[in-house]
Structure 1
């Protein structure tokens, strides 16, 4: 049973007549815990009795652990929850740039939703980043609950308050700009040339993520899918996102305390099991990829001209931004060649927007959900993910639809070739191989 005792105050090294009360209670391991600063004997004893009651009920939380600061526990949590390198880097950025300046020295028991919600509304960052910061804080506080540092997570399940006057119409406009019309994709690809332009085209018509495209090895291009279909076989070329080394990760390596130790650029498994997949390739793209592999001397399909991996920022700055946004012409000077100017094609376009573009095309041509989710590498929610599966007929319909989008865009532009490598001229029907969409060029046409 808990009991209380006086604690006399000391002034100038001498005990005074003033005192407070300290309680002693029995902890789960049999040792004695103490807590000081109570104004009366009864309040001290009541507090101690409450601790022992919580211990008997199995819901006791050590007061010393509750007073641990958020920063101290966050370091402990980060060490105990290892993730992919890029995820660790993003978490440390959120902690160091947004969370720690406000909450690093706050005791865990002092958190409440009102203060956190008020804080996140005033963050000097976009709303998505603010949401990620709150989500990370909630995950850490849930870890504190699980490790019995606090009894409840006051952030769990709460909905953030958004700033008054936010404009939904502006968000809708932004969403509209996250995909590209096929004519724009073709113009951008033509402008960038066969190697880099094909990376753009492949992203828009297959949905490869940036890291997946940058990590694509030639051994995983134009593999074959073969399935029984209609008394024969359905066959089509595929791009494989390798389950072991299918994504190029780029992030800052970190010490246990969050200090940066250098840039990491390496191959890793895809972020989840759904992203390791075989993507069916439409005929026109298969022909372009085959010709590219014949010319390209490097093992990775979309690497730099010297054979090294692209850094995303370099690829975007040197190629995507000037090609999409336009650039000023440069006159010839000593040490610099003349450079033509480019008119804008689609300002602000990104490789991520091109992945959005592929999924938008799939929706446009009515790809069935079972196949749409598989090809995009998304996890399909609900029981239908268990009961519905892609069929060869679905796959053929998708390939025909993507081929039609490409051909219509080429016709709208008045083009017959891309980089002189693909033609809209169709081979005679009797010369086409079975179970291949009746569109596109033949290998003989590409040999020119």
Structure 2
């Protein structure tokens, strides 16, 4: 049975007449637990009785564990999880940059939704990142509940409330996301040259994600046959992941750039190719000397930042003229085509094209590698006629881009070698 005992204060090594009360109660293992600091005997006894009642009901959490700091528990939780490498990197980036500077020394039991929401709304980062930081905190606190360090997760199931100005800023950013008209895609592809231009063209007309595009091989080109319908396809089964490897305590162990299976079941897919792209990729793959289709000129694997600096930024944003210097030929100036355009925006472009030509949702979600929500995902399926209409529509978009530019093809050269 719970009881209370006096705890005398000590000053200069000597016990004084001042005291507080400490609660004592039986823990599940039969040992005596304690909680000091109560001003009266009655409060200490009540606290001890509450602990024993919670133990009998099977809902007790050790108060000492609840005083564990968030930073200590977050590192233990991260060490126990083993998701994909890029996911680990993203989590540590959010912990290091935003979460731990504020919550590192805060005991788990002192975290409240009010404080967490106010903190997230004041973060100096984009709105999506702020929400993801709260989500990660909630996952970590749910782990504390599972380990019986907390009775409940104060962040579970809560939604952020934002000011009208913050909501407007998010909507403005969402509306500013780029997509590229077909003539822009063709101009970029021609400017980049057959090697990198094929990468640009394939992304805009297939919607492959960045990591997926780097993992494509000549053998990824296949053929789909359904009854009397047949078309060339591009099989997506793996991706190249780029992340900073972390140790159990979050220490950086160097960059990783390697192949991994695609993240979701929906991401593993066969993308139907319009005739123009099937023909170009066939020639490109036949001349490919490396293991993968899209690589830097020196071989290996592209890093996203390097491709952006070396290819997308000068091609889309333009570049200045450089005179001839020793060891380098002169460089002509390029006028901007579509400043700010990225490979991610070209994936958006593909889905925008699908909407433009009226691709049915059953096929649209499949080709983009997205999970379709709702019961219709169970009952509706792509048909050969849907596939035929889609590739015909993409072919028309491509031909329309050529007509707008007055071109007969994207590149003058037919041969599209890929140096090893």
Q: Same fold (TM over 0.5)?
A: yes
Contact 2:191–2:315 (CA under 8 A) maintained in structure 1 = yes
Query: Aligned equivalents of 1:70 and 1:359: distance in 2?
Result: 41
Query: Aligned equivalents of 2:82 and 2:162: distance in 1?
Result: 31
Match of 2:410 in 1: 418
Q: Indicate how the Cα distance of structure 1 residues 48 and 239 shifts in structure 2: closer, same or farther if over 3 A, else same.
A: same
Structure 2: state its 5+ residue gaps.
416-420
Query: Aligned equivalents of 1:92 and 1:188: distance in 2?
Result: 36
Report SS of the residue matched to 2:266. Answer: helix
Q: Which residue among 223, 231, 235 is the counterpart of 1:240?
A: 235
Aligned pairs (5 A) from 1:243-258: 246-258=238-250
Alignment of 1:343 onto 2:335: yes
Q: Give the Å deviation of 1:79.
A: 1.4
Query: Aligned equivalents of 1:114 and 1:70: distance in 2?
Result: 16
For normalisation by structure 1, the TM-score amounts to: 0.90
Q: Indicate how the Cα distance of structure 1 residues 177 and 18 shifts in structure 2: closer, same or farther if over 3 A, else same.
A: closer
Alignment of 1:317 onto 2:312: no
Match of 1:438 in 2: none
Query: Aligned equivalents of 1:173 and 1:138: distance in 2?
Result: 26
Report SS of the residue matched to 1:15. Answer: strand
Query: Which runs of 4 or more aligned residues in structure 1 lie more than 4 Å from their structure 2 counterparts after TM superposition?
Result: none
Contact 2:218–2:286 (CA under 8 A) maintained in structure 1 = no
Q: Which residue among 315, 325, 338 is the counterpart of 1:333?
A: 325
Match of 2:274 in 1: 282
Query: Aligned equivalents of 2:311 and 2:135: distance in 1?
Result: 35
Query: What is the RMSD computed on CA atoms of the aligned residues?
Result: 1.5
Q: Which moved more, 1:62-71 or 1:28-37?
A: 28-37
Match of 1:157 in 2: 157
Query: Aligned equivalents of 2:133 and 2:113: distance in 1?
Result: 14
Match of 2:263 in 1: 271
Query: Aligned equivalents of 1:391 and 1:25: distance in 2?
Result: 68
Deviations 1:78-131 (A, max 9, x none): 112211111101100110111111100100000111111111122121212111
Deviations 1:313-363 (A, max 9, x none): 111100000000000111112233101111111100000000011111111
Match of 1:224 in 2: 223
Q: Give the Å deviation of 1:166.
A: 3.5
Q: Give the Å deviation of 1:256.
A: 0.8
- Higher RCO, 1 vs 2 (CA within 8 Å, ≥6 residues apart): 2
Q: Indicate how the Cα distance of structure 1 residues 173 and 54 shifts in structure 2: closer, same or farther if over 3 A, else same.
A: closer
Q: Give the Å deviation of 1:6.
A: 1.1
Aligned pairs (5 A) from 1:47-446: 47-163=47-163, 165-166=165-166, 168=168, 171-172=171-172, 174-221=174-221, 223-228=222-227, 233-242=228-237, 246-420=238-412
Contact 2:212–2:239 (CA under 8 A) maintained in structure 1 = yes
Q: Give the Å deviation of 1:172.
A: 4.1
Query: Aligned equivalents of 2:315 and 2:399: distance in 1?
Result: 22
